[in-house]
Structure 1
Amino acid sequence: MPKDVAVIGVGQSAFVRGYQGSIRELAFEAFREAMQDAAMSVADIGASVVCSAPEYDKQRSPSGLIAEYLGLNPQPTFVIENVCSSSTSGVRVAYSLIKSGLHDVVAVIGFQKMSEITSAESQERMGRGADIIWESPFGTMMPAYYAMHARAHFTQYGSTEKDLALIRVKSSKYGVLNNKAVYRKEVALEQALDAGVVSSPLKVFDCCANADGASCVIMANADKAKGISNQPVWVMGLGAATAPMNLAGRDALSGLNCARLAAQQAYEMAGVRPRDIDVAEVHDCFTIAELMAYENLGFAEPGKGVELIRNGETYIDGKIPVNVDGGLLSKGHPIGATGGSQIRTIVLQLRGEAGAIQVPGAELGLVHNIGGVGIYGNVIILGR
């Protein structure tokens, strides 16, 4: 795989509940950190891709507002929306813009200020992420959708509530070490198992939290990257796939086919196999989502993902460290910013700059970012 496009700067705001500023100020926090990381000026940015789920935004067409505030006029700006996978979709678009030769350097800015609306309004909008004619009217919300996935996995493979709780225990261990995470408390196994039920079998600690936050990924072609960065991180493989919006249209609920197909594409493009990955960030909006990701990404055979968490293989010192920044479960999940945050974590890992959560010698990292209830799947492989 030729090294044609690199990530040369990454940034992220703290993920918080109830951010006091505006969306433009929130985006600026991540953009400033990424620009400082890349040691660039706004004049160096050829285009921007702004990523959010607009049903949470009071500002219509936020890309224009944010580009203006960040000093990115008159460069072109674009808006991308693939719900929770928006910013990795933005990275795919930026990669294409750079590979085509239209732009040398592109900034991908993801954000979400979910506190702009109430929790009830947020749940209603999440419900409308399903088919509004054939599925949403039944009132199914995100926890219930993933609870169906959990029940299917339990039934087919014999996984248990304890296996899901073990995933949250790992998440909380590393969330404590992440100063940008919204939830920085350790969760004991008994605490996770005894928590209140949200949608059986999922309990409170099986679910990620809404949050306000922003992320930024600056990408460049090979010539620019080598001229600007001492440690460019290369985009080695990209995969993307979709699935029927209605769950009734899917073959099985014990995994996400869009993630499996996206992973196959990314591995093929990068010329690597699952066992070559040194560290991974997966979309753990619910504990069952991380368990399914182990299997969809090929880290374990279907039904064998539980062995990874039971044996501690997804911890920093395990066979395949996963979500050692706390994942969505501890960091929080500001929809449009999530994928960019995952990429930031992997970039820091590959540069050896991840501090207390550094995976020793990490050279190849993977990002798995899902939109909706397995509707959109993005997998990105990054290399040192």
Structure 2
Amino acid sequence: MRDAYVIGAGQSAFGSFPEETYLTLFDSAFDRTLDSVDGELSPDQIEEAYIGTLGVGGRQIGLSGPAVTEHIGLHGIPTTRVENACASSGYAFRQAVAAVRSGMVDVALAGGYEVMNDTSADQTKWWLGVSGQTEWERTSGTTFSGVYAQMASAHMEEYGTTIEDLSRAAVKNHANGAQNPKAHLGFECTLDDALNAPTVADPLNLYHCCPTTDGASAVLVASEDVARDVSDTLVRVVGAGASSDSVGLFQRDSLTSIPASVRAGEDAYEQANVEPKDLDFAEVHDCFAIAELLAYEDLGFCDRGEAGRLLREGVTDPDGALPTNTSGGLKSKGHPIGATGTGQIVEAFEQFQGTANVQVDEPNYGLTHNVGGSGGGVTVHLFERVGSAA
């Protein structure tokens, strides 16, 4: 198996854009991806594409992947649409890495898009709900926020986690997102704001929930030969873990962990031969504040029940031992479902390039963690900066 490298990554602005389509959003992300490549890379060198999307609102459901690649001028290349709910483009990226590692192609495109704000609130809520179990969750009245509220309540009861712990995650991510010009909710909030916002699904309030977002993102994955030709800084994919689980929360043994995150993380760490203590930054899936706390514990950043302590002690702040969600996370940057996974990798790539809006000091290892639904599918990717391409 060959090594695979990220040689470019870019995203559109994330937000609510009634004048945009999924094609124009992806076009913007792809242009920025090409611009981010250090050297010269022709689109003709891209041999395969994997495009993630849930398909909110019912637009081009069939063949939406080829519709995107044809629109951006990648005529005739094999294109696969990938759907694993919120983890769609995380899985798309994993497929691109596998294609390069196997030797099938030398350059692959992974990306995703979503348009979520051109339908009614009820329709959007319905589409979000399909990421959960259909019969006993969605059509029985359980909302996406309701599922994570159950997880939050269980964590509070089992470990003494507080509303303040959840709110600290929101405050941190908004502070980071306020420095990100592409963030959907690019403003700061106070702890008082996050503690006293209107309830969405008790115990979660408005500041504990990510927005519904329009946006697109894209990443170029290449072999070492190509990477050395076009890159000043080599960013190697050293771990590509993934796992599936029961789609319904009620089907699992615990409400205070996402087992697929644990397994995907262990797989990625083993491939990379690194441990959580080796990480210099992480982008974790925080569709709801409790999801970020669960990620800390599932990915080994701390022991069970200790996630709130990490936030209180500033461990995951930009100047802490493990800066987490420097992009603003889903909470502030936004959550265009199909674009989120590769959007996290955009942040990782910029960290290694030294161009991030909230820059970590000379990172060597970074992690991205992308969750589908309440944990039915998860990807965890580990990246290493291996020095100059010279």
8 A contact 2:100–2:108 mirrored in 1? yes
Q: Counterpart in 2 of 1:374? A: 375
8 A contact 2:173–2:332 mirrored in 1? yes
1:270 aligns with 2:272: yes
Displacement, 1:54?
A: 2.1
1:180 aligns with 2:182: yes
Q: How does 1:234-383 map to 2 (within 5 A)?
A: 234-355=236-357, 357-383=358-384
Distance 1:359 1:164 in 2: 24
Displacement, 1:55?
A: 4.0
Q: Counterpart in 2 of 1:119? A: 121
Aligned equivalent of 1:104, options 100, 103, 106: 106
Distance 2:99 2:175 in 1: 39
Distance 1:118 1:40 in 2: 41
Distance 1:166 1:131 in 2: 30
Tell me the amino acid that sits aligned with residue 162 of structure 2: T
Distance 1:165 1:318 in 2: 18
Displacement, 1:187?
A: 0.8
Q: How does 1:188-227 map to 2 (within 5 A)?
A: 188-227=190-229
Runs of 4+ more than 6 Å apart: none
Distance 1:82 1:133 in 2: 18
Distance 1:255 1:311 in 2: 22
Tell me the amino acid that sits aligned with residue 191 of structure 1: D
Distance 2:342 2:248 in 1: 27
Tell me the amino acid that sits aligned with residue 13 of structure 2: A
1:44 aligns with 2:28: no
Q: Counterpart in 1 of 2:388? A: none
Q: Counterpart in 2 of 1:154? A: 156
3-state SS of paired residue (2:382): strand
**TM-score (normalised: structure 1):** 0.97
Displacement, 1:3?
A: 6.8
3-state SS of paired residue (1:325): coil
Structure 1 gaps of 5+ residues are: none
Q: Counterpart in 1 of 2:30? A: 31
Q: Identity rate of aligned residues, in percent?
A: 38
- Superposition CA RMSD, Å: 1.2
Displacement, 1:57?
A: 4.2
Q: Counterpart in 2 of 1:56? A: 57
Distance 1:63 1:302 in 2: 40
3-state SS of paired residue (2:117): helix
Distance 1:225 1:128 in 2: 39
Distance 2:18 2:74 in 1: 24
**TM-score (normalised: structure 2):** 0.96
